[in-house]
A and B are shown apart, each in its own frame.
Chain A
Amino acid sequence: MKSSVVANTVSAATKRPVALTAIDPRTAAARRITGRLLQVSGSVHVKSATFNSAL
């Protein structure tokens, strides 16, 4: 078995996405993107109260 210091086994996209500094996470588009991921992956914060009459 080999071992490697730098193992790039993930192929990268060829199309360049928008720069990190240009992303405003407060925009509706950003919230939808993050929200979808949290929902699809079942990562929404379920440890909050579910009691109907309180938050």
Chain B
Amino acid sequence: MTIALRQLVLKVHSRCDLSCDHCYVYEHGDSTWTSLPKVISEETADQVARRFAEYAKDQKLEEVLVILHGGEPLLAGPKRLRAICERLTAHLSPVASLDLRIHTNGVQLNRTHLRLFDEFGVRVGISLDGDRAANDRHRLDRRGRSSYDRVLRAVDLLREDEFRHLYLGLLCTIDIANDPRAVHDALTALDPPRIDYLLPHATWDHPPDRSGDAAHAETPYADWLLAVFDRWDEQGQAVPVRFFESVLSTLRGGPSLTESLGLAPSDLAVVETDGSFEQADSLKTAYDGAATTGYDVFRHGFETLAAHPGVLARQSGIEGLATECRSCPVVASCGGGLYAHRYRTGSGFDNPSVYCADLKAFIEGVAERITRWEQSPVVRSDIELAYEQAVLNRTLLAGLDREQSVWEAFTTLDASPAAAELDALLRYPYVRTALLAAAAGRADDPARLGATAVAAALRSQTEVRVSWAGQGSRLHLPSLGTLCTDDAEGAGETGQVGDAGDAGGTGEAAAGRIEVVTHQDGRTLDLWYVTSGVKTTVTLAPDEGAWRPLPVLDDGVLLDDADPYRDCFPVPDAGRLDTEPERERFAALWREARSILDARVPGQAGRINVVTPLRPGAGVRLGRHGEGALGVGIDTNPEELALGMLLACRQARLRALRECTDLSLAGSPAGQLLDEADRWAGEAAFAGPSADGDRARAAARAALDAIVPGHLTGSGHMIAARLRAELGEPRHG
């Protein structure tokens, strides 16, 4: 199975107006550029756009990303760039969400370009190697003149209010001769939304420069990057740095953010100015012709490129790495480094990165730093965990863009006796899912925050007035239920949220502004649809036809089959259980499973507060976010559900702890061993005094014994000690 190609690097000009001596296109092993057209033709651009659109449609891609690149793409000129943007937009926009970007040296960037980019939503990244001294070490024009002032003029343009939204950030190629803190300070002074640091391209045939002061350092590139990392941390991590965030993400089990790190399969296609497909652009640093495929957009589609052996080789994860890489403790974070950097004549790419030692030292340095951070608290009890979770939720909420009225509602509730209820609602798993989606930039859903404030006010029986834009005809109040107001403005045109059982944001109904006043009885709402002027008062009672409350199961757990953010399970949900017999069947399954669990291991299911029915065959799943959302396949048998409940409760606690603090040295196997021990301990408890139980207890002990002393943090030690006690061992440490 091939991985869908989602990113297209489109070379629109094959020459450059700078002659940076570290450039992989012109200064390394490859001479392909000499035979390419200088600028891509409109016909070729049209064919590329057509092919990529066909592919995106076939692959059902929701979003595609096109990066206009070069050479120097601005040399194509505004007229040709306009034609390219027009063709890409015309072909791709009807098929998928198009994310258009350009990466430039900035030398030629002017207002004409930026107005064009504004028209087509093209965001701009700029290459800059730091302060003047750092930048001028390599980034000179053909006459040997500095590019610094011209690039800074481009950045200044991007920082103007008119164009600020197009400013993607700065890309800096590392030179260890430069002062790392000065480089980072120079870049952050330009207020970029994002920075990335690139290791200069090198291979085992042409190793990176380690001369000068670095001659005696074992890992000079790691030392340089860690100095920047420390500076970045001193500055409060104010500007996202892709390289650092990728390592932090992978150390904590998340995805990598750059093709230069991690094990994620490549989803990148490159098309040259003549329409030829290339493999990874950076391969040009390896040897002449290394990136060529023999395919082009006139004779081949993207599906052909996707099946090319060279493309597949960069999608094979850990299996595609050199033997020594596969057993390396930091492999999940480094992923063998950038593919091109592994090259050596004779063995090809079957080698560790030429930066192997530096990558390992950097990743281990980051792991040590983040594990010792004082902000990683020791969490000793469930009460302390609830406190830390509240801090987390509040911090998340405070960092979101939100309407003033909504924020005022939250702060009003927070300043009242209702504050505890606000924290309780923020802990609701699907509220967390929505907050995280907003924090990660994946959802712009003002209606959800407004609805959350209303739900908190109702739960705490507090009077609050709150108003927000984008509310459709269905107002889902998280943890409570769904209010369907057919007379909402525009509901029939733009405001149809559709069936509340459809997962997705409440913001899909871009209907209009609503003002809501909650009454102190906790069940009455005044609704004012501002644009249409419709006003109504609703009482949230089960016999009120417009109100569909979430059912509560016998043990107080909510059956949530309506929250638009409940699609946080790795499998699809079952939709709404619309009929009473459906709900009763599910309730009976839950009741029986709960009864089995309580008989075997009493008092273990308290962490679950919401359950969502999943499609048949889904089994028992823990939601991705927050504590305690359980997804249950509607055909699950009670015994399986009982065990699943127990294991999910335990897993939820460990995950909630990890959201607040580190349990082990980041990236160390200790974390996974702790998970294994916890799972085995859960299975042992469920099996009771039996052969199966004994086997599970032995497996749990083995996992605990395999943890390297010193790899657990204070909180991790507490978990390990608790597990050993549970397994019948005397408490350690």
Residues of A within 8 A of B (CB): 1-21, 23-55
A residues less than 8 Å from B235 (CB atoms): 28
Chain B contact residue count (CB 8 A cutoff): 110
Interface stretch, picked from B495-503, B551-559, B612-620, B699-707, is B551-559
Among B44-101, those with CB < 8 Å from A are 63, 65, 67, 69, 99, 101
Answer yes or no: B423 CB below 8 A from chain A CBs: yes
Please pick, from B253, B391, B394, B523, the residue contacting A6 in the complex, using a CB distance under 8 A. B523
Closest-CB distance, A31 to chain B (whole angstroms): 5
A48 engages B198 (CB within 8 Å)? no
Instruction: List chain A residues, Cβ under 8 A from B384.
Output: 15
User: Closest Cβ of chain A: how far from B392's Cβ, in Å?
Assistant: 6
Given A17-B394, A54-B101, answer yes or no on A42-B255 (Cβ-Cβ < 8 Å): yes
| 1/0 contact string of B391-422 vs chain A (CB within 8 Å) | 11011111100000000001100110001110
Q: Does B233 contact A (CB under 8 A)?
A: yes
Give the residue name and chain of the A residue nearest to B425 (CB).
A10
Q: Is the CB of B65 within 8 A of A42?
A: no
Instruction: Choose among B7, B251, B458, B655 the residue that contacts A49 (Cβ–Cβ < 8 A).
Output: B7
B82 to chain A, nearest CB (A): 20
Contact (Cβ within 8 A) A10 B428: yes
List chain B residues, Cβ under 8 A from A45.
440-442
- Contact string, B3-17, partner A, CB cutoff 8 A, digits 1/0? 000010100000000
Q: Is the interface of B mostly helix, strand, loop or mixed?
A: mixed
- Bitwise, B157-173 to A at CB < 8 A (1) or not (0) is 00000000000111100
Closest to A46 in B: B255
> Which residue of B67, B260, B437, B552 is within 8 Å of A43 (Cβ)?
B437
Interchain nearest-CB distance for B37 vs A (Å): 20
A-B contact pairs, 26 of them (CB 8 A): A1-B584, A3-B551, A5-B540, A7-B552, A10-B424, A13-B423, A15-B386, A17-B387, A18-B391, A19-B415, A28-B237, A30-B399, A34-B395, A34-B439, A36-B252, A37-B659, A39-B253, A40-B659, A42-B254, A42-B624, A43-B437, A47-B63, A50-B259, A53-B282, A55-B169, A55-B194
Q: Nearest 9 pairs between A and B by C-beta?
A: A25-B399, A28-B236, A13-B386, A55-B125, A54-B103, A23-B398, A39-B252, A12-B420, A10-B424
Given A33-B375, A55-B242 in contact, is the A4-B67 Cβ separation under 8 Å? no
Partner of B459, one of A8, A39, A55: A8
Which residue from B69, B171, B375, B410 sits with its C-beta under 8 Å from A32? B375
Residues of A within 8 Å of B249, CB to CB, are 38-39, 42, 44
Contact between chains at B258 and A52 (CB < 8 Å): yes
Task: For residue B33, give the distance in angstroms from its CB to the closest CB of chain A.
Answer: 14
| Residues 347-393 of B at the A interface (beta carbon under 8 Å) | 373, 375, 383-384, 386-387, 389-392
Q: Are B659 and A31 in contact (CB under 8 A)?
A: no
Q: Could you say which of B65, B253, B395 contacts A40, with CB atoms under 8 Å apart?
A: B253
Q: Which residues of A contact B583 (CB under 8 A)?
A: 1
Which of B257, B391, B428, B479 is A44 in contact with, Cβ under 8 Å? B257
Question: Which chain A residues border B439 with CB–CB below 8 Å?
Answer: 34, 37-38, 43
Chain B window 196-213, contacts with chain A (Cβ cutoff 8 Å), 1 for yes, 0 for no: 101000000000000000
| Contact partners of A19 in chain B: CB under 8 A | 411, 414-415
Min Cβ gap B265→A in Å is 10
Q: In the complex the two chains form, what is the Cα distance from A46 to B558 in whole Å?
A: 32
A16 to B436 CA separation, bound complex (whole angstroms): 23
- Is B610 part of the binding interface, using a Cβ–Cβ cutoff of 8 Å? yes
